[in-house]
Amino acid sequence: MPLVENGRIVEDRYVRVAADGPIPERVPIIVPAQRFLAEADSLVRRDGSLGVDWPNDRRVAELEPWLGHLALIALNFPKFKDGRAYSQARLLRETYSFGGMLRATGEVLRDQFHFLVRAGFDSFEVKKPADAAVFAEVLARYSVYYQPGADGRAPALRRRLQGGAAPKVRETA
């Protein structure tokens, strides 16, 4: 499953650790939620980047005390149609100002890319290699957005006011 970051396919630096079993030293790790919560005190003191794999049916508010120690949060799309993690991502970015990486995992297909980016994700475990290969191209499909998202782009309502929209061609639609 190719990993896309910064618009390119990259090597995954993170190692996923199991619910039990040893935790490797120094390498970046992603820990399952249960274990993370149970062992958070020691995990945050460990040397090496720390990530957590967070299910989409748990409130992200539970992570609040640890956000400063987390380099990555992996959120899950068990199905393409199950969009709970979009809300989790926006809450993490906008309400809790999480500045680490947000990774989309699970059924991640090309037609979600722009939603994911706009919701604040910046790391993508893409299901199909063919989709990963056209990541940048797919993102270029849309150049205008109506609403503010977690990606800081100017939405249409503001662009119009700032005169950032192309000249207002009055034409009856």
Partner 1 sequence: MYIYDSIDRTLVAERVAEFRDQVARRLSGELTEDEFKPLRLMNGVYLQLHAYMLRIANPYGTLSSRQLRQLAHVARRYDRGYGHFTTRQNIQFHWIKLEQLPDAMADLAAVGMHGMQTSGNNVRNITTDQWAGVAPDEIEDPRIWAEIIRQHVTLHPEFSFMPRKFKICVGAASHDRAALRIHDLAFRLHRNAGGEAGFEVMVGGGLGRTPYLAQTIRPFLKKCDLLSYVEAVLRTYNQFGRRDNIWKARIKILVHDLGAEAFAKEVEAEWQSIKDGPLALDAATVAEIASRFVYPDYEALEDGPPELAAARRADGRFDRWVNNAVANHKKSGYAIVTLSLKPEGGTPGDATAVQMDALADLADRYSFGEIRIGHEQNLALPHVAQRDLPAVWRALDALGLATPNIGLVSDIISCPGLDYCSLANARSIPIAQEITRRFHDLDRQRDLGRLHINISGCINACGHHHVGHIGILGVEKNGEEFYQITLGGEADDHAVLGTLIGPAVPYAKVADVVEDIAAAYLDLRTGPDELFIDTLKRTGIEPFRERVYAAR
**Are the beta carbons of 26 and 48 closer than 8 angstroms?**
yes
d(CA 97, CA 89): 10
If the CB atoms of residues 41 and 171 are measured against partner 1, the closer one turns out to be 171
If the CB atoms of residues 21 and 152 are measured against partner 1, the closer one turns out to be 152
Cβ neighbour number for residue 126 with a 10 Å cutoff = 23
Confirm or reject binding of residue 64 to partner 1 (CB under 8 A): no
If the CB atoms of residues 39 and 111 are measured against partner 1, the closer one turns out to be 111
Nearest approach, Cβ of residue 47 and partner 1 (Å): 35
Confirm or reject binding of residue 119 to partner 1 (CB under 8 A): yes
**Concatenated DSSP letters of 109-172:** -GGGHHHHHHHT--EEE-S-HHHHHTHHHHHTT----SS--TT-PPPHHHHHHTT-SSP-----
Confirm or reject binding of residue 90 to partner 1 (CB under 8 A): yes
Residues that bind partner 1 (CB under 8 A): 59, 80-84, 86-88, 90-91, 94-95, 109, 111, 114-119, 130, 141-150, 155-161, 165-173
